[in-house]
A and B are shown apart, each in its own frame.
Chain A
Amino acid sequence: MFSKLALRNVRRSFRDYGVYLLTLTFGVCLFYTFNSIQDQGALVYLSNVGNPIVEAITMLIDIFSVFVAVVLACLILYANRFLLRRRKRELGTYLLLGLSQGQVSRLLFLETGLIGLISLIAGLALGVAASFGMSALTLSMFEIDVSDMLAVKFSSGAAGKTVLYFGVIFLLVMVLSGVQVSKAKLIDLIHGERKNEILKPRPLGIAVFQFVLGVVCLIAAYAILLTFGMALAIAVPFLCFPMLGLGTLGTLLIFRSLSGFVMKFVQGHPGLYFKNLNVFTLRQWISKVHTTYLAQTVVCILLLLAIGITASSLGLNSTLTAMTDGEAPFDITVQNQSGDTERVDFDAVLREGGFNPDEKLAWSYDTMFYYNEGEITGIEDASGAIKVSDLDALLNRQGKPAYSGALPALLETLEDKLTTGNLSLRCVVIPDDMADRLQPRRQVWSADYAGEDKAETEEQLLQLVRPLNEKVSIQLESRLSIYGDMMGNKILALFLGLYLGFTFLLAAAAVLALQQLSQGADNTGRYAVLRRLGAEEKQMKKSATQQVALAFLLPLVLALVHSAVGMKAANDIIFAVGKVDSAASSLVTAGVILVVYGGYFLATALACRRMAKNA
């Protein structure tokens, strides 16, 4: 009997409380997706190449997950409280019919359990799809071809963790709603219709002033950003804080005053003011501004962050390519720190170990760096010296022109990397014959691999080079390891950004939706009046949609304006070396944001339209 009632209630909630289920499902999906990343292609690849960042990512995701779980728990409790408030009457009727409070609590217990089960299953299914999408997204950021790592996987560890965390949250919800029912008085439940908030008349003149002030704030913030450029405006605190402060204040003021401003404008245009239900829609908007403008500001900033993360992942990708080339001109560099005493013949070592350099290396070069002696070179302020022929060979390999300056001279070109990894020597370029008079300091051997499978070649080479450490002090740096580090950092930033970004987006959109729904419920009386006045159903539905759209789309529009300005400021970074694959992945991210946000908008608008229709 109870389970039948609970089942029917749950089935009804599909229609009425779509937003609640949507939130739960998205929450589960989000949680699973990010907790399953250690089993996803990108991290599997990174851990295969022994990158230490994997542990850091896993650990940080673990820590963030606790935080996200707390946010989601608060959100679910808020949503549940909102639902219970709307069901007060129904619960009161159960009590009036003679059910004990324990029985009603049990009913709610069953319902929450059922809803939790459904959303867990749906969320996990969605999560498997989402983690595949995210895997594709992160793998697309790799320069090297790792597409074979892409596969649909079910991570049982992540699923277990999700079930555990959400199980606890649902248990909490069950207990709290049970407590709420057992504490409630019957009279309050029966007369539980929500009272309207007291509306305070606010002169429209103030709204106009606030709006103008908000626009001025935003223009000032934009001006700072566009004048000084993205890099400077963010790095310098006394530019950054005023800019962010003005931007936030401007956004806040605009959301707070836009309705009044529009009203003032429309009042001057009777054709608009008196058209259809415009007066009603506008007044509804104004009357709710004070409960929604904070949420709207937060949503706007979160959307901006989400767009920003997308854009910067794109920007990071391009700079990463440039940085890898700058940091790692050669596939590998081996520095022999004991070069002054013990010189290594790399060619011989490799051949001895069965590694044929002629076949497996496209190029290799052995360079000797010398101690700089001021008396000989005539330059005091340097710690090393390199022969001009060696320098030219290294520059030539990078496709750069040969050295053409005076000899000997201090090598000014810090951007000209002579090794993969740090050399940390300030060098003098010397004529080749001067080298005989200088003491050898360090032996540096660089090489480029031949063939496609560079990872394999590197593995074989390292097998032979690493043991040298027993005799001499070896320092190894390869393009792949530098690349892996950068990739790891980038993925770390991206994952954590997306994780938090989506969590907040979800929370903000859900709060906005619940606010609109509770307002929609309050509006039913007003729609009934409109119907009696002879308003057409079509127009009432339109008005309901417009009200929801104003609440949802304004933050999106303002966020788009903000990010358009931001993009313009970051133009150089982002679009200079934009790559097609990262643009595609950014589009996917933008698409997912739109789906989540749009899903909430649609669910809310449909529910509010239904309320207007049934009023």
Chain B
Amino acid sequence: MSEILTVTDLKKVYGKGGSLTRALDGVSLSLEAGEFVGVMGPSGSGKTTLLNCVSTIDRPSAGSIVIDGKELTRLKGKELAKFRRERLGFIFQDCNLLDTLTTYENIALSLSIIRAPAQKIDRRVREMADLLGIADCLDKYPYQMSGGQQQRCAAARAMVTHPALVLADEPTGALDSKSSQLLLDRLDELNMELGATILMVTHDAFTASCCRRVVFLRDGKLFLELHRGNDSRKVFFKKIIQVVTEMGGGMADVL
């Protein structure tokens, strides 16, 4: 399979002179097309910095990021905005829907922004809404929907442009367990059926357990990688919990 995302020796340094903070200290990672990868790690491990760099919101200090054959660090200004809207999809913790637009319009807007042909927009929006189970909410405004529905709408908005890579930052962070499960099921389905490549940042082991692979970060470095392989989700979840406990192990010794 072809590689969609290749991160090589990525470094991000904040601050100047004596007080340097190494948020990312040589992270390398690669995603193949159709992979569903989770990134885990404690606070300050560099998860969000990694995501920000990959999503072109932030610029790395050193290293390279190649998405779909494009070297991100060389893109500038308009090219960057164009790349972002055409090749990337975002799902955030606070789903960031536009509150003045209906669900339908929220999803259609991202197609408008990439200048998709008007005749195809309606069909694509409805298909995506069907896939995510929000077809009956299309004419509702965000505040008329539950948090789970809103987040699935955000997912539909991210996926409808068929991006090369979907970046999800704590998508279940603000959801109750049932809504989380529903959203994760849908993401899983999108991953399986449409072959969408998803990179999801989370600190919740349960959420991470639906990924095919989980990457652990600590202190800006890659700590460990877990592959789900043929494990059931339950088994994979236990493995993740084990790693999380080990990562906190340093503290456990003291206590």
Contacts and interface: CB of A to CB of B under 8 A. Distances in A.
Q: Do A and B bind each other?
A: yes
Given A274-B111, A283-B98, A287-B100, A536 B86 contact: no
Contacts, number: 78
A368 B84 CA distance: 99
B118 A534 contact: no
A274 B100 contact: no
B96 A529 contact: yes
A287 B100 CA distance: 6
A274 B114 contact: no
B228 interface: no
A536 to B, nearest CB: 6
B122 A270 contact: yes
A277 interface: yes
A302 B140 CA distance: 38
B121 A196 contact: no
Interface string B96-126: 1111111001001111111010110110000
A540 to B, nearest CB: 10
B74 interface: no
Interface in A261-281: 270-271, 273-280
Contacts of A278: 112
Interface in A281-325: 283-284, 286-287
A535 interface: yes
A533 B144 contact: no
B81 interface: yes
A235 to B, nearest CB: 47
Contacts of A198: 143
B85 A534 contact: yes
B241 to A, nearest CB: 33
B78 interface: yes
Q: How large is the interface on B (under 10, 10 to 19, 20 to 34, 35 or more residues)?
A: 35 or more
Contacts of B100: 199, 280, 283-284, 286-287, 526
Contacts of A274: 108, 111-112, 116, 118, 121
A183 interface: no
A535 B98 contact: no
Interface string A459-501: 0000000000000000000000000000000000000000000
Contact of B85 (A196, A275, A533): A533
B114 to A, nearest CB: 7
A191 interface: no
A534 B96 CA distance: 14
Contact of B113 (A196, A283, A287, A535): A535
Interface of chain A, main secondary structure: helix
B216 interface: no
Nearest to B86: A534
Nearest to B104: A279
Nearest to A271: B118
B223 interface: no
A526 B82 contact: no
A546 to B, nearest CB: 14
B90 interface: yes
A237 interface: no
Given A278-B112, A533-B85, A533-B113, A199 B118 contact: no
B121 A270 contact: yes
A529 B98 contact: yes
Interface in B44-72: 57
A533 B96 CA distance: 10
Given A270-B119, A271-B118, A275-B112, A196 B99 contact: yes
B237 interface: no
Contact of A201 (B108, B110, B141): B141
A532 interface: yes
Contacts of A201: 140-141, 144
Interface residues of A, number: 27
Contacts of B113: 277, 530, 533-535
Interface in B202-225: none
A537 B80 CA distance: 12
A537 B82 CA distance: 11
Contact of A283 (B101, B121, B143, B157): B101
Contacts of A271: 118
Contacts of B98: 280, 283, 526, 529-530
Nearest to A279: B105
A533 B78 contact: no
A271 B85 CA distance: 20
Given A270-B118, A270-B119, A536-B81, A277 B141 contact: no
A201 B84 CA distance: 32
Given A199-B100, A275-B112, A279-B105, A534 B82 contact: yes
Contact of B90 (A199, A275, A280, A532): A532
A226 B65 CA distance: 71
B109 A279 contact: yes
B119 to A, nearest CB: 6
Contacts of A526: 98-100
Contacts of A532: 57, 90, 92, 96
A533 B109 contact: yes
A280 B82 CA distance: 19
Nearest to B114: A534
Interface string A199-223: 1010000000000000000000000
Interface string A336-348: 0000000000000
18 contacts: A196-B99, A199-B141, A199-B143, A201-B140, A201-B144, A274-B118, A277-B109, A277-B112, A278-B112, A279-B101, A283-B98, A283-B100, A526-B99, A526-B100, A532-B57, A532-B90, A532-B92, A534-B86
Interface of A: 196, 198-199, 201, 270-271, 273-280, 283-284, 286-287, 526, 529-530, 532-537
Going nearest first, the 7 A-B pairs with the smallest beta carbon separation are A534-B85, A270-B118, A287-B100, A534-B84, A283-B100, A274-B118, A274-B112
Given A270-B119, A284-B100, A526-B99, 12 more contacts: A270-B122, A275-B118, A277-B113, A279-B108, A283-B102, A283-B105, A533-B90, A534-B81, A534-B82, A534-B84, A536-B78, A537-B81
